[in-house]
Structures are given as structure tokens and as C-alpha cells.
Amino acid sequence: MLRNYFRIALRRFRRQPLYAVLNVAGLAIGMAVCLLIGLYLYGELRVDRFHEKSERIVQVGIETDFFGRGLNTSYPLAGVLEQNVPSVQRAVHTRPRTARTIRNPASDLEKSQRVLTASSGFFEMFTFPALHGDLSGALTQTDGLVLTASSAQTFFGRTNAVGRSLAVDLADSTRTLTVRAVVQDPPEASTIEFDAVAPIRLTERESWSDGWGMFMFQTYALLNEPDVGHSALTDQIQRAVDEHSDREFEYFSADLTSVYLSPLHQSDGFRGQARYLYIFGAVALF
């Protein structure tokens, strides 16, 4: 049967070569386009899913009359979540990565790097595997620093830079920090990007402790169970915050894996567009 089909196809190809070439080329192009669209959709849908605890991580946002609905929150929020919300096992806050000058005192090599500041539980919540050093206490000491493999290679010519020192420009001062660990570079599927991570306490200000109106941080919560409903979680968050703040803000939560394709505004990094998934998906189908 297949041999007959092959003979018929070969016969038609000989009779109408141009028509046959156009058909084959059209089929090949169509299959290639579908493959590329499939790879694009796969890449967009797997963003932030590489974290081992991704199903239990939510990002907490705030809604105000002036700013609308967004993911920039205040500094005290993480502490209130961890201590007063039953569904939350751990909460961390980060300050958006910014370009900071880092210098190796031994060689005077100076580079601009993306430095993220984060609270001590950052590497317990998010999966950025350590290549060298110990992540468990890397951000608990105010002189600690975590580098990516690429940054370690840039400054020291090798990935194992544990114990080495770097001078880091932290806005109003320059601090000499010790590399406590080196991690793999964040994958392309990560919305959290950095070249180095420093303890957020290094840039801590006294006014932050009760600065409920200062929206400069991203707040993440690790839930005890992955199936906690957002409505119930939001109620718990709202009650806890209302007990500690007289600001009338409304809070909400969003799954970490859904933030990338959501319309929520965030100052740190590019976000995907869900409508493109529908458009390209429809093109691939038809």
C-alpha cells in the first residue's frame, strides 16, 4: 500500500514538478512554523516553574487608589506575613536589582553588575543551586555576598570564589563583602535576575520599619500547602496587616508561576504577554 502511494507521488512529481515542489515547501514551512511556535509557547509557560517549591510560592501585591494594582510593596510586610499569617511558612522581601559597581581590590578590576538585595530566607525559598559554598547562612551576615558563576569567573577567573572579597557600591557607601557562595546563573526561565545577591540589611533604613507607604520591595510568601485559596489567603493577609498598620490598602496574592504572564505592573524586569500565547496558539492550529 505504501509502495503504491510512493509510486503515485513520484509519478505526479515527474508530471508537475513545480506544483510538487511548492506543496512540499509549503508543508515544510508550515511544520517549521508550528515547531517554532510550540517552542515559544513551551518557553513562556515554563517561566519560574524550575523552582522546587514553585507551587507553594506566591507573590503578594497591593492595590491603592493612586498606584492601582501592583507588586511593589512595603518593607514591614514580609515580617508580618511570616509571624501572623497561618498559611505562610516563610516570607522574604527583595529590592529590585540595580546596576552597582563591584571592584576586586586585589586586581582593581571594576564592573557594573546587577545586584539584588534580599532577606536571609531568599535561597531557602527559591532554587538557585549552589556550586560552591553554603547558601544557608550566606545572607544572614551583613558582610556576605553570593555571586553567580559568570560573575565569579569575571572577577576571579574561576567559579570557586568563596572567601574572596569584593568592594560593592551600595548607593550611599561602598562595602567590602566576602563571597559566601557561588550559584548557577539564573536560567532564562527566571523572572528573578541577578549577578550578585547581597543582604537587604546592608541597605536597611530606620524609616523602613514602619514605612507602610514606601513601595520599593517585592514580597514573596512560601505557603504551608499549595492548595490554599487566594481568597482565604488574602483575607488572612488583610487582617494581619490591619493589626499593624493604619494605612487602608488592599492586599492580594498571585501564584509565582502566573505573574510573568499577568498584567500586574512590576518595576523589576520584563513581563510576558498572555495574549501572544493565544494568538500564536491559534496560528499554529489553523
Q: What is the count of structural domains for the chain?
A: 1
pLDDT band at 64 (very low <50, low <70, confident <90, very high): confident
Look up the domain containing 13 and give its range: 2-45
Residue 113 in this model has a pLDDT that exceeds 60: yes
Decide if 7 is inside a domain.
Answer: yes
- Domain contains 22: yes
DSSP 187: P
Does residue 139 lie within any of the structural domains? no
The model's pTM is 0.84
Whether residue 188 lies inside any domain: the answer is no
Burial readout 110-137 (b: 16 or more C-beta within 10 A, e: otherwise): eeebbbbbbbbbbbebbebebbbbebee
Q: How would residue 98 be classed by pLDDT, with cut points 50, 70 and 90?
A: confident
Q: For the packed helices 17-45 and 2-15, what is the interaxial angle rounded to 10 degrees?
A: 120
Residue 192 within any structural domain of the chain:
no
Cell output for 30: 508550515
Confidence of residue 273 (pLDDT cuts 50, 70, 90): low
> Domain for residue 40, yes or no?
yes
Q: Which of 4-8, 116-120, 179-183, 217-221 has the lowest mean pLDDT?
A: 4-8
Distances (CA, A) of 160 to 61, 65, 108, 140, 208: 37, 49, 19, 20, 35
Q: Is 67 a domain residue?
A: no
What is the model's pLDDT at position 267? 46
Q: Is residue 164 part of a domain?
A: no
